[in-house]
């Protein structure tokens, strides 16, 4: 109390009235914002998850030529012969990836055939098909409507491009999925 009186006496002598000490209006890192006047932060849009936009399950297709005809003629194999597998979607769709199961255990050769996966004519990969079979997943990330799968090789066992390509001995494909979402 003595210091308060002494402070007033010094102020009176100087001819001025003491002012209260004001604290600056800065907020510390731990200070809470005023919720009444604060604007909400925008919530970032979550990408929509991919869904199955097309599936062809339970059917087996032998993509190839003469050996496919012989292979699928046996009732225990139960497959359908196609020179090229094609599927046209109802509308253009954002396709993120195509997944399928394939094997080429249909003929006497040990040469692996290659599957070419295309969307609207654009090639997205050439994938070797082994005799035992495996799941193949092809990244597309493109809008498209026509899915095409071909099996190709040349007489020496290496892939040829363009018009020089010939139909492979064959590869059996099944469990075909296209993942994506509606095009916007």
Residue 102 included in any domain:
yes
Whole-number pLDDT of residue 159: 42
Region 51-73: mean pLDDT is: 90
Round to whole Å and give the CA distance between 71 and 126.
23
Residue 41 included in any domain:
no
Of the candidates 21, 92, 65, the residue with the CA atom closest to the CA atom of residue 165: 65
- Tell me whether strands 51-63 and 80-82 are parallel, antiparallel or unpaired: parallel
pLDDT range class, residue 153, cuts 50, 70, 90:
low
Whole-number pLDDT of residue 151: 84
Region 161-166: mean pLDDT is: 43
Residue 20 included in any domain:
no
Round to whole Å and give the CA distance between 14 and 6.
12
Round to whole Å and give the CA distance between 5 and 109.
109
Whole-number pLDDT of residue 113: 74
pLDDT higher than threshold 50 for residue 1 = no
Which segments within 64-133 are labelled E, that is strand?
80-82, 85-103, 113-119, 122-129
Whether 62 contacts 170, CB under 8 Å: yes
Domain boundaries, position 133: 51-182
* Residue bearing the bigger pLDDT, 7 or 38: 38
Buried b (16+ CB within 10 A) or exposed e, 81-118: bbeebeeebeeebbbbbbebebbbebbeeeebbbbbbb
Phi, psi at 126, each rounded to 5°? -125, 120
Whole-number pLDDT of residue 40: 67
Residue 96 included in any domain:
yes
Whether 184 contacts 85, CB under 8 Å: no
Residue 17 included in any domain:
no
Round to whole Å and give the CA distance between 91 and 141.
16
Model's pTM, two decimal places? 0.65
* High-pLDDT (> 90) share of the chain, %: 38
pLDDT higher than threshold 90 for residue 145 = yes
Looking at the structure of the chain, the number of domains it has is: 1
Residue 32 included in any domain:
no
| 125: CATH | 2.60.120
Read off the pLDDT of residues 17-53 as tens digits, 9 standing for 90 and up.
555 555 555 555 555 656 566 666 666 666 667 899 9
Read off the pLDDT of residues 91-127 as tens digits, 9 standing for 90 and up.
999 999 999 999 988 877 656 678 999 999 999 988 9
């Amino acid at each position: 109390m003595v210091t308060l009186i002494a402070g007033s006496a010094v102020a009176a002598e100087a001819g001025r009235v003491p002012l209260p000490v004001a604290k600056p209006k800065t907020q510390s890192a731990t200070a809470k914002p005023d919720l009444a006047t604060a604007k909400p932060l925008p919530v970032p849009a979550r990408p929509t998850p991919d869904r199955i936009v097309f599936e062809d399950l339970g059917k087996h297709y032998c993509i190839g030529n003469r050996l496919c005809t012989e292979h699928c003629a046996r009732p225990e194999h139960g497959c359908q012969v196609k020179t090229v597998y094609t599927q046209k979607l109802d509308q253009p769709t954002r396709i993120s990836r195509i997944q399928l199961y394939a094997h080429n255990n249909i003929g006497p050769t040990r040469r692996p055939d290659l599957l070419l996966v295309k969307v609207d004519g654009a090639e997205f990969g050439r994938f070797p098909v082994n005799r035992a079979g495996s799941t193949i997943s092809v990244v597309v990330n493109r809008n498209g409507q026509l899915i095409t799968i071909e099996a190709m090789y040349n007489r020496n066992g290496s892939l040829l491009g363009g018009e020089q390509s010939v139909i492979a001995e064959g590869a059996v494909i099944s469990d075909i999925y296209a993942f994506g979402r509606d095009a916007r």
